[in-house]
Amino acid sequence: MTPVLVVKTRGKQLAHLAPVDAQQRLIELWLHDKPESTKKCYMRYATELTAFLAGVNKAIAQTTVEDLVAFSEHLHNKGLGAATIKTYIAAVKSLLSFAYKTGYIRFNPGAAIKLKKVDQRLHEKVLTETDIALMIRLAERAEYRYKYQQIRDVLILKLLYVAGLRVSELVGLMWKDFTPRDRSGQITVVGKGNKSRHVLLPEYLWVELMNYRGDALKDAYVFPSRKGKGLKPLQRQNLDPIIKDAAQRVGLTEKVSCHWLRHSHATHNAERGTPVPLIQQTMGHADLATTSGYIHIRPGDSSALHLPRV
């Protein structure tokens, strides 16, 4: 039987589709309420899957468990790392789950695939407090062609670390997400799964952000793209050079990325005794176990230290 797609999201029927272009429409509906940055990534994953399936004369509606295993091997043969492959497969599982819930497929092969645990080696992605302070101080003293770019870059470094933001959350910030509170203020962040949370900022950072804002309208992006004439946000790939330059000024040879600052936020807070639930709330972790993992990266004590010398 040829699948007919019936989709409901938030209780509202979106579409009844006949089979012609149903696969492409399925993907579009799966993506429609996701953040723009997520859409781009997920579309890339879905395109990789459909291209792989087309190579064996199949479509999503005919996908089997064996196909998913073969797809994982295909990604491995392309040279992708374990963590990246896990991200691809997680997205594919989400797509297939959506297809199953909408009646597009009668069996969900993704449900039979268990995501492998990946050694994230978080301890290798955590900077010292001194390194981060130096990255910010040297960025403030660096020579820039335009002063506003320097101020922007410094604030990007500070928000990634101090607020523990994900890249997608940072680039999606608009001035309407900022709410004054006494002498400081808070930002409303839209994280994974379109879940929002509120992050209270320290007074010094709030003042710096308000000075940077100037007369920008509330619907303007905090970090706009020059190509979009201020109407579009800075792209994720534009942030990598900012972090790379800041790390190189300090003499760091590792490939430091934006996420290192987020990891460092969690680790440094855990080391300073900040309550784990508060770190979880600030970072937007759905699972407390994710936050708890940062406590064990650089423990202050262990039972090994309590044994006699041998």
Instruction: Collect all residues with Cβ–Cβ distance below 8 Å to 52 and sequence separation of at least 6.
Output: 70, 71, 74
Q: What percent of the chain has pLDDT over 70?
A: 82
Question: Residues 270-308: pLDDT tens digits?
Answer: 888 888 888 888 888 777 766 666 655 555 554 444 445
Buried b (16+ CB within 10 A) or exposed e, 80-104: beeeebbbbbebbbbbbebbbebeb
Q: Write down the pTM of the prediction.
A: 0.62
Task: Tell me which of 77-86, 198-207, 220-229, 255-264 is least confident.
Answer: 77-86
What one-letter code names the amino acid at 249?
R
Residue 285 appears among annotated catalytic residues: yes
Question: Residues 178-226: pLDDT tens digits?
Answer: 999 888 899 999 887 778 888 889 999 999 999 999 999 999 999 998 8
Residue 167 contacts residue 259 (beta carbons within 8 Å)? yes
Selected catalytic residue, list 45, 104, 221, 294 = 294
Q: How far is CA 152 from CA 65, 67, 165, 251, 284, in A?
A: 47, 46, 16, 22, 24
Residue 166 appears among annotated catalytic residues: yes
Selected catalytic residue, list 125, 166, 265, 268 = 166
Encoded tokens for 258: 């934006």
Domains of the chain by start residue, with CATH: 5-112 (1.10.150.130), 122-296 (1.10.443.10)
Residue bearing the bigger pLDDT, 210 or 39: 210
Residue 259 appears among annotated catalytic residues: yes
Selected catalytic residue, list 74, 262, 263, 265 = 262
Residue 192 appears among annotated catalytic residues: yes
* 36: helix, strand or coil: helix
Instruction: Collect all residues with Cβ–Cβ distance below 8 Å to 249 and sequence separation of at least 6.
Output: 134, 135, 138, 139, 142
What beta strand segments (E) does the chain contain?
Answer: 5-9, 12-17, 178-181, 184-190, 196-201
List beta partners, residue 184: 181
Selected catalytic residue, list 40, 58, 86, 192 = 192
